[in-house]
Structure 1
Amino acid sequence: MTAACSAGGETEADNKPSKASASAAAVVAPARIEVIANLTGCKANIRLEAEELREGTCHTEQGDYLITTFPEEKYKQTWLETARVYGGTYLVGSRWVVSAEPKMLEPLRKKIGGDIQRLQGFGPAPSPS
């Protein structure tokens, strides 16, 4: 039995979050904007649907954030490589990325899982002082 299974015998294939923690629920339902948004307490406004990705925006009292999901891991990796040019900090999960102010990422991680990744931008490094 894996950590994503509940005491009731559900498996990842059931794709139904039950009494599992929010982190386990994120593993049960990866790459669904609507599920991620619900777990974070918002109703996502879908702003882009393409073959390689979907994007939805969330507006909460804590702040706004963008949820991007991908049909395959390779599309997420390409997105992250492109985002590296701009730098920034993101919450990254299985076939999804959340873009938000850095102060929001840890509270979101506690709800949906994933890893916080800081991407370094390209360009000249600051000179030593």
Structure 2
Amino acid sequence: MRTRAAVAVAALSLVAGCSTAHPAAPSHGAPAAPKTATGSLEQLAAKARCTPDIQTEARELRQANCATGQGRYVLLTFATDRGQREWLNSAEDYGGTYLLGRRWVAVGDTGVVAALRGRLGGTVEAGSQHHQGSSGSGGSEGHSGHHTS
């Protein structure tokens, strides 16, 4: 799982742009999000109006790159809640904005995530980006301070 998670984190850093993170909170003036979507990676991608480009196909997680009129993002689904949380604990150190549902995450720029939230519902989290210069080879054990939904 650690190798697949590392690949997913590397892909997300390309989308999230480690040096260009945006502030973390959803807009207070944003319209209410719909009920949080559920389903397979393909079902979630269809709701988000994306044709998924599958990058990782594993028992623990599935990952696809997506692009819409608002921009590019990474969509991931997880086999377990624990797997999702472990991935988030590692990934949030790289910055970016995360849209969270039950056993799925979408990662992209703030504007892309806001548009996706209008289609998929979910909760927005932001990465801390305190590892900007990191090569990504270190572990994520001991990290805390992230917000849980």
In structure 1, how many angstroms separate the alpha carbons of the residues matched to 2:74 and 2:49? 13
- Aligned-residue offset at 1:33: 1.1
TM-score (norm 2): 0.61
| 1:45 corresponds to | 53
Where does 1:9-24 land on structure 2 (aligned, <5 Å)? 23-24=34-35
Which has the higher relative contact order, 1 or 2, with Cα contacts under 8 A spaced 6 or more apart?
2
For 1:74, the aligned partner's letter is R
Structure 1 segments unaligned to the other structure (5+ residues): 1-21, 125-129
Are residue 122 (structure 1) and residue 130 (structure 2) matched? yes
In structure 1, how many angstroms separate the alpha carbons of the residues matched to 2:83 and 2:59? 10
Superposed structure 1 runs of 4+ greater than 6 Å apart: none
Question: Closer, same or farther in 2 for the Cα pair 1:110/1:85, shift >3 Å?
Answer: same
In structure 2, how many angstroms separate the alpha carbons of the residues matched to 1:65 and 1:53? 16
| 1:76 corresponds to | 84
Note the alpha carbon deviations across 1:48-106, whole angstroms, 9 max, x for none: 11121000111222211110000110000000000122122111110000011111111
| 2:29 corresponds to | none
Question: Closer, same or farther in 2 for the Cα pair 1:25/1:83, shift >3 Å?
Answer: closer
Structure 2 segments unaligned to the other structure (5+ residues): 1-32, 133-149
Percent identity, aligned pairs only, is: 35
| 2:96 corresponds to | 88
Question: Closer, same or farther in 2 for the Cα pair 1:45/1:81, shift >3 Å?
Answer: same
In structure 1, how many angstroms separate the alpha carbons of the residues matched to 2:50 and 2:128? 29
Where does 1:28-39 land on structure 2 (aligned, <5 Å)? 29-30=38-39, 32-39=40-47
| 2:66 corresponds to | 58
- Aligned-residue offset at 1:25: 6.8
In structure 1, how many angstroms separate the alpha carbons of the residues matched to 2:65 and 2:104? 13
- Aligned-residue offset at 1:123: 5.1
Are residue 103 (structure 1) and residue 103 (structure 2) matched? no
Contact 2:35/2:122 (CA < 8 Å) preserved in 1?
no
| 1:112 corresponds to | 120
Contact 2:70/2:111 (CA < 8 Å) preserved in 1?
no
Structure of higher CA gyration radius: 1
In structure 1, how many angstroms separate the alpha carbons of the residues matched to 2:67 and 2:79? 24
